[in-house]
Amino acid sequence: MRETISSEHYITVLEQFVSTQLALEDQPRIEWFMQDGARLHLTEKVFRFFDEYFGNKVIALDYPKFTGTGMDWPPYSPDLTPCDYFLWDALNDTVYGNHPSTLDELESAICVARNSISVEILKDVMSNFNLRLRHLVFSNGEHFENIVF
């Protein structure tokens, strides 16, 4: 998607995601949906979509204020999602290493970087994710920062 992302575009992406998930009958259902506090994520339209498809199984900034259900994005939360603690850094180094100067070069670099992530690396990332979740449970959901993963 090359145009600026709006809440309407975001809802279109979410609808595609939900329809794909519903079509995958052999896959486990989404237990919780979690998003960050990006401005386009915090609109009434987006929250209505979440309420319709995910109900109270949403972790999002200000979502409980809108619906009275779900869970607010925890302040000072540790980097729990693999995108936060792994993917963005891994892709950033590869994508911007050759200093793309056009949108086409950037798009190509993103595709190359994405395809360079091996299954073994993804297995390691998910193993680390499980470790992070165990630390979170052990700390009763409190912030932890002095742990090297």
Total count of domains within the chain: 2
Are residues 60 and 11 both part of a single domain?
Answer: yes
For the stretch 61-78, what's the b/e string if a residue is b when 16 or more beta carbons lie within 10 angstroms of its beta carbon?
A: bebbebbeebeebeeeeb
Q: 103-115 vs 88-96: helix axis angle to the nearest 10?
A: 130
Are residues 105 and 142 both part of a single domain?
Answer: yes
Tens of pLDDT, residue by residue over 20-72, are: 887 877 766 667 888 877 888 889 999 999 999 888 889 888 899 988 988 88
pTM of the predicted model as reported, rounded to 2 decimal places: 0.62
Are residues 2 and 58 both part of a single domain?
Answer: yes
Are residues 5 and 71 both part of a single domain?
Answer: yes
Estimate to the nearest angstrom the gap between the alpha carbon of 18 and the chain centroid.
Answer: 14
Are residues 15 and 38 both part of a single domain?
Answer: yes
Q: Which domain holds residue 126?
A: 76-148
Do 46 and 60 touch, CB atoms closer than 8 A? Answer: no
Are residues 97 and 65 both part of a single domain?
Answer: no
Do 53 and 45 touch, CB atoms closer than 8 A? Answer: no
